[in-house]
């Protein structure tokens, strides 16, 4: 594993343990060259999945993008990192279980919204505002009304 500090190619694993939700292995490593310590995560990947965006462009599924968007929606909401990891792992499992080599970005967005709705309603509305491209305050009001009333979007 390449060191993120000095780019040396070799590092030693000092400690390995499963993550809280048992979906990955957390490894503490130490660089053989500079001595810096860093953490890596090893996850199972069943197959390569291509995401088809609304513009028609295609790119490989990237879990880190999913992590970032969920973390941004939940920022300052007091949601434990473990819960965010579980949500992202759950969405990734759903994508892989579908068995398709391609998935629409819209389908991934719906999976994330479903997970966020159960996790935190404010994060759900935040994510929806970007995902559904709210342009006016009334868009927020209408969507928040469906959340408050328990209606499905």
Burial grade of 148 (CB within 10 A; 0-12, 13-18, 19 or more): exposed
Confidence (pLDDT) at 148: 64
- DSSP tag of 67: H
**pLDDT band per the 50, 70, 90 thresholds, residue 4:** very high
Q: Where are the alpha helices (DSSP H) in 39-150?
A: 63-73, 81-98, 105-119, 121-131, 137-149
pLDDT(1) > 60: yes
- pLDDT for 5 equals 95
What pLDDT, on a 0 to 100 scale, did the predictor assign at position 151? 53
Residue 153: the pLDDT is 46
Report the mean per-residue pLDDT for the chain.
88
Q: Any idea where the domains of the chain sit in the sequence?
A: 7-44, 45-147
User: Would the pTM count as exceeding 0.95?
Assistant: no
How large is the greatest C-alpha to C-alpha distance in the chain, in angstroms?
Answer: 59
Interhelix angle for 105-119 vs 121-131, to 10°? 160
For the segment 47-52, the average pLDDT, to the nearest whole number, is 88
Tokens of 94: 């759903």
Angstrom distances, CA of residue 78 to CA of 46, 96, 105, 120: 32, 29, 27, 10
pLDDT in tens, 83-137: 999 999 899 989 988 888 999 999 999 999 999 999 998 999 889 888 887 777 7
Angle, CA 19 vertex, CA 70 and CA 90 arms, to 5°? 40
Q: Which residue has the higher pLDDT, 43 or 33?
A: 33
Confidence of residue 60 (pLDDT cuts 50, 70, 90): very high
pLDDT in tens, 6-27: 999 999 999 999 987 787 899 9
Query: What percent of the chain is modeled with pLDDT above 70?
Result: 95
């Amino acid at each position: 594993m390449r060191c993120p500090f000095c780019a040396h190619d070799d590092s030693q694993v000092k400690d390995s343990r499963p993550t809280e939700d048992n979906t990955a292995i957390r490894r503490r490593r130490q660089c053989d060259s500079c001595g810096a310590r860093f953490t890596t995560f090893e996850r199972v990947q069943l197959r390569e999945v291509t995401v088809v965006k609304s513009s028609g462009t295609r790119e490989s599924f990237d879990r880190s993008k999913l992590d970032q968007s969920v973390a941004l929606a939940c920022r300052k909401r007091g949601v434990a990192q473990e819960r965010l990891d579980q949500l992202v792992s759950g969405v990734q499992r759903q994508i892989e279980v579908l068995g398709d080599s391609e998935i629409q970005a819209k389908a991934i967005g719906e999976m994330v919204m479903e997970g966020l709705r159960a996790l935190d309603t404010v994060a759900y509305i935040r994510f929806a505002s970007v995902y559904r491209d709210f342009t006016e305050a009334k868009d927020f009001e209408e969507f928040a009304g469906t959340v408050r009333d328990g209606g499905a979007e």
